Amino acid sequence: NAGVTQTPKFQVLKTGQSMTLQCAQDMNHEYMSWYRQDPGMGLRLIHYSVGAGITDQGEVPNGYNVSRSTTEDFPLRLLSAAPSQTSVYFCASSYGGTGATEAFFGQGTRLTVV
Amino acid sequence: AQTVTQSQPEMSVQEAETVTLSCTYDTSESNYYLFWYKQPPSRQMILVIRQEAYKQQNATENRFSVNFQKAAKSFSLKISDSQLGDTAMYFCAFIYSGAGSYQLTFGKGTKLSVIP
C-alpha cells in the first residue's frame, strides 16, 4: 500500500524554468491538495481538487497550475519558477475534504529555485 | 478566515517527562475539527490526534492527549513519558467541517526536542 507518492524528492531549478511535481495516490480518494511549507510559516494551501476534472484555488495559487484528469494523479506545475517558490511542497489526499476522514501526506518535494 | 497560533517556536523536555504544547485558534464557526500533526526530520507529516469540536470529551491516543477548551478556543497537546522519537516539529491545524470547506489551516509549528 503505497499511500501518497510524490516525485521528485529534491529538485533545483533555474529562474524561469518550468517543471511539474508529480503526486499519485492509490487509496481512491476523491480529495487531493497541494501545500507549500516555508520556514516559520506552517503549511499553506496552493490548489485542491474534489474529484477528477474539478480543481480550485487555495490560499497561495499564483505561479502554479494544476489539473486532475484521473482520481489517482494530481500534478502541480510551476509555469516560470521564481526564487520565491523555493519551498517544500506536500501533496495530500483524503476520502473527504472536511476533516471527518484523515488526510494522508506525501513525503514532500524540496524545491530550490536559483 | 480562520487563524491558528502556536506561541512556542521551540520547546525541550527531558526524556520520560511530560510536556504541553499550546495552540489557540480563531473562528466564527461552531463545527470544525482540530488536529495535531508531527513532522520528524524525515519530513513526513504524521497525524497525532484529532478532535471534533462538538465532542466535549478530550481526545487521547496512547501517550498523547489534548486539552480542548472550545469557549477559550484553545487546543493544547500533552505528551506524557516523552521519548527520543517524539523529537519533531508539531503543527496544530484547523478545518471547518461544513460543506465546501477544504482548507486545513496550520499554525507555524513548535519544534520539540527530547533530551536524553
Nearest CA in chain B to A110: B43
The reported pLDDT for the residue numbered A99 is 67
Per residue in A21-79, pLDDT tens?
999 999 999 999 999 999 888 899 999 999 999 999 999 999 999 999 999 999 999 99
Distance from CA of A64 to the nearest CA of B (A): 17
Can you give the three-state secondary structure of A44-111, one letter per residue?
A: EEEEEEEECCEEEECCCCCCEEECCCCCCECCEEECCCCHHHCEEEEEEEECCCCCCCCCEECCCEEE
Give the CA dihedral A108, B95, A100, A1, nearest 10 degrees.
0
Per-residue burial over A70-94, b = 16 or more CB atoms within 10 Å of its CB, e = otherwise? ebbebbbebeebeeebbbbbbbbbb
Side-chain-facing half-sphere of B30: CA atoms under 13 Å: 1
Residue A96 clears pLDDT 80, i.e. is over it? no
Other CB atoms within 10 Å distance of the CB of residue A38: 14
Residue B24 clears pLDDT 90, i.e. is over it? yes
What is the rounded end-to-end Cα distance, in angstroms, of chain A?
36
Closest by CA position to A36, among listed A99, A111, A89: A89
Closest by CA position to A112, among listed A85, A91, A79: A85
The reported pLDDT for the residue numbered B100 is 66
Distance from CA of A51 to the nearest CA of B (A): 12
Average pLDDT, chain B: 93
**Chain B within 8 Å of A87 (Cβ-Cβ)?**
no
Q: Under an 8 A CB cutoff, do A59 and B103 touch?
A: yes
